[in-house]
Structure 1
Amino acid sequence: MSFKRVSVGLLGIVLSMLLLAYLFRLPLTSWYLTPMLSKNGAELHCIDWSLTSQLDLNIEKLCLTYQGQQIELAGILANKQQVRVSRANLIVSDLANKQQPESAQTEFKKLALVLPEQRPLISIEQLDVVSPFTDSPVRLAIQEKRLNHFTISGDLNADVEISNYEIKADLTLDEQVARRFITLPASSHFSTQSQVKFDGITIAIESTVNASYQHALAQCDLGFTTEGQLSAKYQLNQQYLYADLSALQNQLSANQACLSIIKDQQHQSFIEAQLPLTWQLEIEKPVSVEAEQLSVPIVKLLAAEGQSEVTVSNTTFSLQDPLASLNSQVSIDFNSKDIDELKLNAHLHESDVSADFQLSLDSLPAFLDFQADGALVEGIGAKGKLNIDELFSSPIAARLNANVSVKNALISGAQIADFTSTIEAEHNAEQHLIVKANSKVKSLNYNDIHAAKISNELTLSTDLSVGELFADIDAKTTAAKLSTPELTLNKLSVVTNALQSRALQATHHVFADGFEALVSHHMSKVAHPFELVIPEQAVSKLNPIIAQFEPLATITDGVVSGIIKGDVNLQQAEGSVHINKLSALYNDYLANDFAVDLDGTFNSGQLNIAATKFTLNELRAGAVVKNMQGQLQVTANQPCAADLTGQVMGGKFVVNKYCPLSDNQTATVKFENIDASKLVTLDAESGISLSGRLAGTLPVVISKQGIEVKQGQLVNQGDGKLLITNNAGFEAVKAQQQELSTTLSLLENLDIKKLRSSVNLKPDGWLHLGVNLEGYNEAQQQAVNFNYNHEENVFTLLRALRLSDEITQKVEKEYAKKGSNDG
């Protein structure tokens, strides 16, 4: 009885302990499991279990954290054969731990799972996975068909194998599955088959990818396709991503209809001929992300047709601030039907860009505006360097150095040969722009205008921050020669200072063959006033120009100055020109000391100069004319000289009016007190002399046929005298005509009382004189009435007189002296 009583008591104690253990199963379980799980990197948060009537373990709820990942299990029924989980929730933390301080970041460790060799198989009827990588939870079902081999179905299809040190999964994903939890374009298509391995620290992925994307823009279809193998690894602790995409075949394409977006047919045709519609994208070396720093060693974009290539290499940037941290090198090597070569090498360092470029074209596109009307530009080349500071800021600072060349150009009728230009431009952060250009042109032809060896130096400075264009322009243009059918200028130079605001204000300092002028103008939409200033300078500087119009004319002395103001748009001008001490040579005619002050206006194509006095000290043309003066006037482009007076042959003359450009006019020349001895200028050895004073009137008719004198008259003023001594010709006439000998001898010493002569000059130079002499021979006490007709070519006579006159030597001496001084 005592043994039985003791056994019953012991049994009661055991049952009581079991009952107490069951009653306190939850804290006991937590006390037992917590340290054991901690050794494996897991943390127990909650557990609630019980036994069924069949002694199966029923866990209502189990909460665990493993390396930062939270899992909650509910409705677990476990026995020796299986563990079935009705519901489970897995919360995957942000692996970047962006919201956690550095000290609180999770330290991942290599897997060291203690997997029993025998245990019940696990099935999870519903697992919801929440992660930062998907827009909505991923719902899965998990079935363990054999120990540590799981089949996953639902939103993802995968086979998972778990070992002590690794989790391996074979995953299949397509767009139908992916659309359940991420947003994808309707026109996209992809499928992947991946093998994922996880060792607790590193996730490794090997995938086969087949994907495409189409984007419709109006009628333009843009496409991207990729196919092939990729591999990637992600290290959780170092947050290091490595992706090898080199085995992928990537293609970018556009259909022909995309060109229809370009409305202009010429633009469309040009781009169609240059730009391939299909490109291959190659990522030759692995891409990596470490500590939020993305590195892409090399990416190439290759045209499917031709040799064009875009290469982006050594690219790195921070994912937190890509633009501020971007470093990259870009190389473009492009050629096409019309572009012989386009090369660009650019380096981008934290928004600073340095680039060098080279471009060559056979000709410019025909659609450019200045290419209209049959224009052509051939043999174009450009190369240079560009530097930009703070590319993504506004405003940017940039510097450009470029060399541009054009072999031949035809623009708006102008033919240009061998154009070269060196350009330097700088734009700073204060929006100050400075452009310097040095250009040269071998030759330029426009209609009948030809220029050779042109050079131009241009500096433009402007402030773009003011909202309006204000630019200071300094330029110097030179040309070795500028010629037209009428005129050739040598050593042409134009120095320009200009200000461009709402209108262009410019001053041009012009030099041509040494002659100087200053032009100022103000060009706007409504007016174009100008001012031309001719500073006082030697008129002889105009000799190269004058020689082109009249080769026999040469200016030897004198100064000129003037100022002209007007408006180009209105074609109006007024001004004054001053000429002083002008001396000039025409063949062997010489004019000395000419002076005039001209004040005139120009309006509607007509020049008018008010009547102004001019003076000419001396004119030598066989006869010497002195102290000439008169009134010079231009009316409606018609110049005329009026009231011309002067001294000639010891007397005076007056010309009423002479208009050089008029084809039909009569100028009346009146003489008085002319010294007859100077009028009849013969060889001193002839033995014939005439003295006395003459007066006369010569109506000079000027027409297209030439110059002629009609019914001119010469008369004596007072007595005169005719002497003939030892003249062989005169003596021969007397000997041959004995009947006239007595009469002719009366002329040998004749006191002239009256002389009348009619004067008629033909356009061919033949002069006809009808002379009537009335006088008295004192020696023979005989009155004489003598009529004589004389014909001679006056042009020949004047030429002979000029050659025999002392002017020949004086002119040559004067021209030699002045010419050497002015040359």
Structure 2
Amino acid sequence: MGKLFSQKRYAISLLSFVILFIIAATTYLFRNAIGIFLIDHYARDQHVSVNCLSFDIDTQLNIELKEVCLQAPGIRAKIEDALFSYQKNALYASSLIVHHTLSKNTDKASSSIAPIDITSWKLPVNLPKVTIDEVTINSDVLRESLNFSLIQPTPDSLKFEGDIQATLSLTTTDDGSEQSAITADIKWVLSEVIGFVSLNESQLASLNPLLNQTSFMNTQIITNLRFDGNQLSSKHSLNTSFHYNHNSCSIQPKIDGLVVANFSLLTQQLSLDISALDTRILLGDDCLALLPQVPIELPNVFSLTSPTPMLVTLNGAVIPSLSFTDENKALALTLIDLGISFPKEKSPIHIETKLELDGELNLNKPAKPSERLARQSPLSSLTLSHSGYVEADGQDWSVSQIDGVINVQNFTQAGLTNKTLSMNASGSISSQTGITMQLTVDANGLRYLSPEDASVPITIKSVQAALTLSGKNINEISVISDSTWSQIKRDTVLVNKLSNRLKGNVSNFNHLHFSGDSTLSGIAINVPVKQYLTFSTIDVRHDITAQRTSSTLKSQHDVSVEKSLQFTVGQSGQQINLMMHQQSIDSLQAVATRFLPELILQDGTLNIDAQMKSNGQDLLASIELVNAGVKYADFSASGIATHANVYSDSAGLQLDNARLTILNADTGVPISNIALAYSIKNNSLKVDKATGNVLGGNFILSGFWLDNRNQNAQLTMNNIDLAKIVELQQQSGIDVTGSVSGTLPLTIKDGKVNIDKGLLKSDSAGALKIDGNPAFDSIAQQQTELNYLKDLEYEKLSSKVKLNTDGLLFLDFSILGKNPTQEQAVNFNYHHEENILTLMRSLRLTDSVQNQIEHKIKKGGEE
């Protein structure tokens, strides 16, 4: 019995061994199929399946893996020629090939990422070390395969070499909590990353400005990553500079420093810190050339700083502070609390921020500053302080709460200088609600020197101006401008006050139309001989139209001087017109009295039509005076008329063959039918010929210039009626018949007139009868020989005439005839001297002669 039991026991052991051997052999023989089954079973929940598997196990438990094919959603992986060494506890693989395809599932991916608790992660102590000679990753998002090798230098780290240069580690903190985190150190180049990414043509085109920056694209970036299961932290170190051209503007950024980024899986927020990043931007001179020509030394080197980390979420970003500062830290543009809302299906991108611009700018030195100005004016600067709230919503934008101040001291530029200048701006601008802006300007001590005439400055004591802009649409802006200018002076002209008010609108930043009024008060003009021509007011009504794109300007200015003189000045492009139609001469009396108090303007009208270029060239003027009358002291004239066409050329003003007529003139001697032919050549006025009727005869004056040149002229007198001369003197008891004619040669030197060898003589015989003239009778009582003149028939009457430049007139009279009553021959000679100024004032020649004869007789003079 015992023996039988013993045999059964050995049989059971043998049977068990056989069964185990069969199982082991079967498992070994079907190891690949069993492996596939087990992997599929346990990885079913992760949607992982095995498509191929081939491995072998030797007696030392080393596993040789010829190949294994794994598949998961979007991923296929294949490992070839792998070996697990049991003794070395190491896994070696010849290659790992991964294929990634994009999912065609149209369902939206979840925007949330669940945190991973890796704080207590610990790798098994006996985890084999892995080495893979070649890892190849193919993906739909990659333009070409990614190749690298993978080694495990320590149990807690992986090292990638090849297209990816990185080290991945599982570390623990040093604070004693022994919490685990995954860290990685990566060296990468942006050009290589983009080179692997698959982009379509439009995406490549949008990146061209960046792709063309070779220096930046080839800059090595060192990145340190740390992931603790909740937060992914990264630090990126780079040092690069590159050139970038945009619309003919050369920009050279230089970036050096560290960018810190922290992304939280719990809050889904990204924090970006660039406070340790030194970013400098250099603008080329060509960039500044694109800006409007302003007399300011604009900086061309800026620093970009953001001292507080930026916060980025799935919905938007918040930047607490972002500043652009010039290299001298004199000017800073700061964006405060910049908020960006990312676009969604039904809402565009939204941006809002507070903007501040503060600092100081130097003004350019004058191109050719005079030594005197350089001594008097220190280098001027511009101080500015502006703030506003900027908001953009897609294509809509607004700038509100605008508050700005600009102060300038000792401004000197383009011939203009001023001591102080202050400008203030406030209001808001919006693409939707339009514009509401108020601007004020306060300037003192202005001085302007025109390039055309730098010797005569324009000075202005002060200017106050206010400008209001409003409109529900920024393309249709209403403008109201008010300004006051005090003590404007240029050379001999002073305007005590100028007030101006304009209203108008600006359409599409192109078409401008303004209308309004200006009043000039307290005008004084210093004229020669230390006199002043003054006006109390000059009123001007403006109407101005301009178009920016076509550079056209049209304006009309209706001017009223003392509410009497009326004329219109118009401008069309480069053409300026002056029009004065049917201006009554007597309405100019108030103006004329200030210049010549004794001048009285009477009848007549004045018409002027003039055109000229805005630069003062190509003048063409038509001047017409009709039936005018004037009176000045003892002089009066009526029926004055002229029509002249004046023009200008490179030599100056020109006038060809004009004519002035005066119907009657009274200078003490009545003159009528005066006709003057005159002209202007090279700014000089010339009387070509003057004729008229005087004292029953006529005169002819040859041509002469009305300037200071030395010249000769001749005055010819014809048929002057001696009876008219006597009648002019209003002497009773004197009757004379006959006429005289002659020539008076005129020499004009240094503006003074000289007559030498002038001669007047009778045209024929005449008679002189004196009966009942008290003055003559008184003389004749002392000189009885004069009684022969009481009844005289003369054959010749003549006088030599000489006039000195000092105004002294010399007359040598000679009368040859007989007294028929006493049958006595008479030869009367007399020399007379008279100041021409007094003589012209009295114009009583006969009385003057008689007085001189009486004086001579009393002194025993000879007849």
The answer to whether TM tops 0.5 is yes
Offset of 1:434 from its aligned partner? Answer: 9.3
Residue by residue over 1:227-275, the C-alpha shift from the partner in whole angstroms, topping out at 9 and shown as x without a partner, is 5x8351242x8753223444x2525376xxx9899999xx9xx99x864
**CA distance in structure 2 between the partners assigned to 1:574 and 1:488 by the alignment:** 27
Paired residues for 1:474-485 under 5 Å? 481=523
**CA distance in structure 2 between the partners assigned to 1:263 and 1:574 by the alignment:** 43
**CA distance in structure 2 between the partners assigned to 1:437 and 1:90 by the alignment:** 77
Q: Report if the CA contact (8 A) 1:416-1:443 is conserved.
A: no
**CA distance in structure 1 between the partners assigned to 2:285 and 2:474 by the alignment:** 41
**CA distance in structure 2 between the partners assigned to 1:333 and 1:408 by the alignment:** 28
Q: Select the residue among 164, 169, 176 that pairs with 1:159.
A: 169
Q: Select the residue among 337, 340, 343 that pairs with 2:382.
A: 340
Offset of 1:226 from its aligned partner? Answer: 1.0
Local SS of the residue matching 1:121: coil
Is residue 302 of structure 2 the alignment partner of residue 282 of structure 1? no
Residue by residue over 1:656-685, the C-alpha shift from the partner in whole angstroms, topping out at 9 and shown as x without a partner, is 336574753332333237357624435xxx
Local SS of the residue matching 2:242: strand
**CA distance in structure 1 between the partners assigned to 2:261 and 2:648 by the alignment:** 86
Letter in structure 2 aligned against 1:240: Q
Q: Report if the CA contact (8 A) 2:448-2:459 is conserved.
A: yes
Is residue 121 of structure 2 the alignment partner of residue 109 of structure 1? no
**CA distance in structure 2 between the partners assigned to 1:311 and 1:361 by the alignment:** 22
Q: Report if the CA contact (8 A) 1:110-1:165 is conserved.
A: no
Is residue 293 of structure 2 the alignment partner of residue 252 of structure 1? no
**CA distance in structure 2 between the partners assigned to 1:125 and 1:567 by the alignment:** 90
Number of equivalenced pairs: 733
Specify whether residues 610 and 12 from structure 1 end up closer, same or farther in structure 2 by C-alpha distance, changes over 3 A only.
Answer: same
Residue by residue over 1:714-760, the C-alpha shift from the partner in whole angstroms, topping out at 9 and shown as x without a partner, is 689987643337x59955873xx5xx66x67788xx55655864345
Structure 2 match to 1:415: 457
Letter in structure 2 aligned against 1:758: S
**CA distance in structure 1 between the partners assigned to 2:182 and 2:565 by the alignment:** 93
Paired residues for 1:343-362 under 5 Å? 343-345=385-387, 347-350=390-393, 352=397, 354=399, 358-362=405-409
Q: Structure 1, unaligned stretches of length 5 or more?
A: 392-396, 683-687, 806-823
TM-score scaled by structure 1?
Answer: 0.68
Structure 2 match to 1:678: 727
Is residue 315 of structure 2 the alignment partner of residue 315 of structure 1? no
Q: Select the residue among 218, 223, 229 that pairs with 2:254.
A: 223
Paired residues for 1:287-686 under 5 Å? 287-291=310-314, 293-303=316-326, 305-317=328-340, 325-338=350-363, 339-345=381-387, 347-350=390-393, 352=397, 354=399, 358-362=405-409, 370=414, 384=425, 407-412=446-451, 413=454, 415-418=457-460, 442=486, 453=497, 481=523, 491=538, 493=540, 495=542, 508-509=556-557, 511=559, 513=561, 514-518=564-568, 533-540=579-586, 553-563=599-609, 577-591=623-637, 593-600=638-645, 602=647, 607-608=654-655, 610=657, 614-617=661-664, 619-623=665-669, 625=670, 628-635=672-679, 637-640=685-688, 642-645=690-693, 652-657=696-701, 659=703, 661=705, 664-669=712-717, 670-672=719-721, 674-675=723-724, 678-682=727-731
Structure 2 match to 1:171: 184
Q: Report if the CA contact (8 A) 1:83-1:120 is conserved.
A: no
Residue by residue over 1:451-509, the C-alpha shift from the partner in whole angstroms, topping out at 9 and shown as x without a partner, is 775677789989899xxx99878797775548586696853858565677989675654
**CA distance in structure 1 between the partners assigned to 2:188 and 2:614 by the alignment:** 73
Offset of 1:559 from its aligned partner? Answer: 1.6
Residue by residue over 1:12-38, the C-alpha shift from the partner in whole angstroms, topping out at 9 and shown as x without a partner, is 888878888885735762575247xx4
Residue by residue over 1:535-557, the C-alpha shift from the partner in whole angstroms, topping out at 9 and shown as x without a partner, is 01122455577678866544233
Structure 2 match to 1:811: none
Q: Select the residue among 130, 139, 142 that pairs with 2:152.
A: 142
Q: Which moved more, 1:662-671 or 1:434-443?
A: 434-443
Q: Report if the CA contact (8 A) 1:533-1:564 is conserved.
A: yes
Letter in structure 1 aligned against 2:635: Y
Residue by residue over 1:618-650, the C-alpha shift from the partner in whole angstroms, topping out at 9 and shown as x without a partner, is x33334x27x2143312564225544125x5xx
Structure 1 match to 2:91: 84
**CA distance in structure 2 between the partners assigned to 1:277 and 1:680 by the alignment:** 93
Structure 2 match to 1:814: none
Local SS of the residue matching 1:314: strand
Specify whether residues 578 and 674 from structure 1 end up closer, same or farther in structure 2 by C-alpha distance, changes over 3 A only.
Answer: farther
Q: Report if the CA contact (8 A) 1:538-1:557 is conserved.
A: yes
Q: Report if the CA contact (8 A) 1:417-1:442 is conserved.
A: no
Q: Report if the CA contact (8 A) 1:142-1:153 is conserved.
A: no
Offset of 1:768 from its aligned partner? Answer: 5.2
Q: Report if the CA contact (8 A) 2:284-2:300 is conserved.
A: no
Q: Which moved more, 1:322-331 or 1:292-301?
A: 322-331
Offset of 1:142 from its aligned partner? Answer: 3.2
Offset of 1:594 from its aligned partner? Answer: 1.7
Is residue 272 of structure 2 the alignment partner of residue 243 of structure 1? yes
Letter in structure 2 aligned against 1:616: L
What's the C-alpha RMSD, in Å, of the aligned pairs?
6.0
Q: Report if the CA contact (8 A) 1:596-1:615 is conserved.
A: yes
**CA distance in structure 2 between the partners assigned to 1:508 and 1:98 by the alignment:** 74
Q: Report if the CA contact (8 A) 1:112-1:165 is conserved.
A: no
Q: Report if the CA contact (8 A) 1:540-1:558 is conserved.
A: yes
Residue by residue over 1:112-163, the C-alpha shift from the partner in whole angstroms, topping out at 9 and shown as x without a partner, is 6897997741432228496979984564323663xxx445464322431499
Q: Select the residue among 38, 45, 49 that pairs with 2:49.
A: 45
Q: Which moved more, 1:77-86 or 1:670-679?
A: 77-86
Q: Report if the CA contact (8 A) 1:46-1:62 is conserved.
A: yes
**CA distance in structure 1 between the partners assigned to 2:700 and 2:241 by the alignment:** 96
Local SS of the residue matching 1:29: helix
**CA distance in structure 2 between the partners assigned to 1:561 and 1:79 by the alignment:** 121
Q: Report if the CA contact (8 A) 1:403-1:420 is conserved.
A: yes
Identity %: 11
Q: Report if the CA contact (8 A) 1:498-1:505 is conserved.
A: yes
Letter in structure 1 aligned against 2:130: I
Local SS of the residue matching 2:733: strand
Letter in structure 1 aligned against 2:131: E
Structure 1 match to 2:760: 712
Local SS of the residue matching 1:111: coil
Local SS of the residue matching 1:223: strand
Specify whether residues 731 and 691 from structure 1 end up closer, same or farther in structure 2 by C-alpha distance, changes over 3 A only.
Answer: closer
**CA distance in structure 1 between the partners assigned to 2:136 and 2:334 by the alignment:** 41
